[in-house]
């Protein structure tokens, strides 16, 4: 399989093919195709540290049929296709290292159906998570997956995103019941039905979720929804030590309290969030916690959690009972990344994303904290700690080569540490082109099987090439960032 599976093929089309594809797209899509430098750069944009690698053109699609047309035109010329949602991915997922056409899905933003009785809905991929939740609120429903950014549902599916609610409601893997996608040859498939479970053949839904646009373009998603709980209570509990806060999380999860959110901010992150989000917390390791259930159930959960927190040095619980106070709290949590960026003006924030078995969480965080201090790096820590997932936001002066090197060393040690503890290099950000080198380290020969799947579904290797699967030939073909 090794050889057959190798993604070879000409990844960057030659100038003639490129011109022909662009000319065909221009004549078909007119104003809705752009080759302007500003638009291209915006679509090669990347949050965090990856260099901007703009595509050759951007086309704004309005329907599945149009996506299929664009893909067919590109396939005919060996032109890479990069699906684009909101450009908020963190590992360079929308970069165009081999050039190509970015399909901007933001105009495919209709909510096609809501089935309150089945707790599901059908949406186009350009719908953002906030727009969806605003739409659903009046019906007493919500969609729980919430990465920091107001990302598009298609993008969130593509990176297998999660966020603060995953500990209770799962990730995009669990939230997508079924989807439609344009495959690399332009055909459209539907991967499942609205049934809540199925054993009907290979799980193509889960294959497309997390594929980062490398197997096709998602054009429609059927999502599981949840009823807005009767009672919600949230609050902050502050700890004397980072270890105490971590241990409280582990004990909470192990005790089976169905906590809806349990988020860690270390001392430095609290300082950053105080400044950026106008919080007034003490600069101490803190847990942001939320409980969902009936009035009585929420009270019971909060009492149980309070007892556990106290055992590990947690202070008084500061409740955010009103929706407005809760919103402020969670907005601050979602803005943690931007708070970090503001902590050291001029520096780039490099977001790491390891996830470990929860029994190793405290140890992994403590060792990483020590490692940061030893390497003299500035890196606030936040985490979806109920899942064992945490982020160090390294704030790096990219003009200081020694510091850049130190940051690289730290990242590599962090991933090694997580893998050694039975964890993963990425809990929710995906591989993009930033983590391809870690994937083989983590999963070994399984990556060859991924390559075989990629080769089978996208033999021309036009779908978001260079992401997840790193062909041997890639590095020499990568175009310099423009």
Nearest residue (CB) to a copy of itself, 126 versus 184: 184
Nearest residue (CB) to a copy of itself, 375 versus 453: 453
The three-point CA angle 471-475-480 to 5° equals 135
Q: How far is the CB of 82 from a copy of itself (least distance, A)?
A: 18
Q: How far is the CB of 50 from a copy of itself (least distance, A)?
A: 16
Q: Could you give the C-alpha distances from 117 to 114, 176, 256, in angstroms and in order?
A: 9, 17, 29
**Distance of alpha carbon 482 from alpha carbon 480, whole angstroms:** 6
Nearest residue (CB) to a copy of itself, 308 versus 377: 308
Q: How far is the CB of 201 from a copy of itself (least distance, A)?
A: 5
Nearest residue (CB) to a copy of itself, 54 versus 466: 466
Q: How far is the CB of 151 from a copy of itself (least distance, A)?
A: 13
Q: 17: exposed, middle or buried (C-beta count within 10 Å: 0-12, 13-18, 19+)?
A: middle
Q: How far is the CB of 297 from a copy of itself (least distance, A)?
A: 6
Q: How far is the CB of 337 from a copy of itself (least distance, A)?
A: 17
Q: How far is the CB of 199 from a copy of itself (least distance, A)?
A: 4
Residues near 224 by beta carbon (within 8 Å), at least 6 away in sequence: 119, 120, 174, 175, 176, 177, 196
Q: Are 314 and 248 in contact (CB under 8 A)?
A: yes
Q: How far is the CB of 325 from a copy of itself (least distance, A)?
A: 24
**Distance of alpha carbon 219 from alpha carbon 215, whole angstroms:** 13
Nearest residue (CB) to a copy of itself, 110 versus 226: 226
Tokens of 79: 């032109």
**CA 114 to chain centroid:** 24
Q: How far is the CB of 284 from a copy of itself (least distance, A)?
A: 26
Q: How far is the CB of 4 from a copy of itself (least distance, A)?
A: 7
Nearest residue (CB) to a copy of itself, 8 versus 23: 8
Nearest residue (CB) to a copy of itself, 99 versus 155: 155
Nearest residue (CB) to a copy of itself, 15 versus 202: 202
Nearest residue (CB) to a copy of itself, 72 versus 344: 72
Look at residues 365, 176, 394, 128 and name the one whose alpha carbon lies nearest to residue 266.
365
Residues near 64 by beta carbon (within 8 Å), at least 6 away in sequence: 108, 180, 182, 188, 219, 220
Q: How far is the CB of 204 from a copy of itself (least distance, A)?
A: 6
Nearest residue (CB) to a copy of itself, 74 versus 406: 74
Q: How far is the CB of 355 from a copy of itself (least distance, A)?
A: 4
Nearest residue (CB) to a copy of itself, 250 versus 343: 250
Nearest residue (CB) to a copy of itself, 238 versus 247: 247
């Amino acid at each position: 399989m090794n050889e057959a599976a190798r993604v070879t093929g000409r990844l960057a089309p030659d100038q003639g093919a490129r011109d022909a594809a662009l000319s065909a797209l221009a004549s078909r899509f007119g104003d809705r195709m752009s080759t302007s430098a500003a638009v291209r750069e915006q679509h090669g944009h990347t949050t965090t540290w990856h260099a901007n690698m703009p595509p050759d053109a951007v086309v704004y699609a309005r329907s599945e049929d149009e996506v299929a047309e664009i893909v067919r035109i590109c396939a005919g010329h060996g032109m890479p296709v990069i699906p684009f949602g909101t450009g908020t991915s963190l590992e360079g997922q929308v970069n165009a290292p081999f050039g190509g056409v970015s399909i901007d899905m933001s105009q495919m933003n209709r909510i096609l159906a809501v089935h309150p009785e089945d707790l599901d809905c059908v949406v186009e991929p350009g719908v953002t998570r906030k727009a969806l939740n605003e739409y659903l609120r009046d019906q007493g429903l919500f969609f729980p997956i919430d990465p920091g950014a107001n990302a598009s549902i298609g993008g969130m599916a593509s990176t297998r995103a999660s966020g603060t609610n995953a500990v209770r409601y799962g990730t995009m893997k669990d939230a997508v019941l079924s989807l439609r996608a344009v495959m690399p040859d332009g055909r459209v498939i539907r991967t499942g039905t609205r049934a809540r479970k199925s054993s009907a053949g290979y799980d193509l839904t889960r294959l497309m979720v997390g594929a980062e646009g490398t197997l096709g373009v998602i054009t429609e998603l059927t999502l599981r929804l949840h009823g807005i709980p009767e009672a919600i209570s949230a609050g902050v509990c502050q700890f004397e030590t980072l270890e105490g806060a971590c241990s409280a999380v582990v004990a909470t999860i192990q005790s089976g309290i169905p906590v809806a959110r349990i988020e860690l901010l270390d001392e430095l992150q609290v300082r950053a969030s105080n400044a950026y989000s106008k919080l007034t917390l003490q600069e101490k390791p803190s847990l942001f916690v939320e409980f969902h259930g009936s009035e009585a159930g929420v009270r019971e959960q909060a009492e149980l959690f309070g007892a556990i927190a106290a055992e590990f040095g947690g202070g008084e619980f500061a409740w955010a009972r009103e929706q407005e106070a809760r919103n402020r709290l969670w907005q601050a949590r979602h803005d943690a990344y931007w708070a970090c960026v503001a902590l050291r003006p001029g520096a780039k924030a490099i977001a790491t994303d390891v996830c470990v078995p929860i029994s190793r969480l405290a140890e992994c965080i403590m060792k990483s904290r020590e490692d940061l201090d030893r390497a003299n790096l500035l890196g606030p820590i936040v985490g979806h700690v109920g899942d064992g997932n945490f982020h160090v936001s390294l704030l790096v002066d990219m003009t200081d080569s020694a510091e850049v090197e130190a940051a690289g060393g730290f990242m590599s040690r962090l991933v090694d540490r997580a893998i050694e503890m039975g964890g993963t290099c990425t809990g929710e950000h995906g591989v993009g082109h930033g983590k391809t080198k870690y994937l083989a380290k983590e999963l070994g020969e399984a990556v060859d099987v991924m390559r075989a799947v990629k080769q089978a579904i996208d033999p021309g290797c036009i779908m978001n090439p260079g992401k997840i699967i790193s062909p041997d030939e890639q590095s020499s073909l990568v175009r310099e960032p423009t």
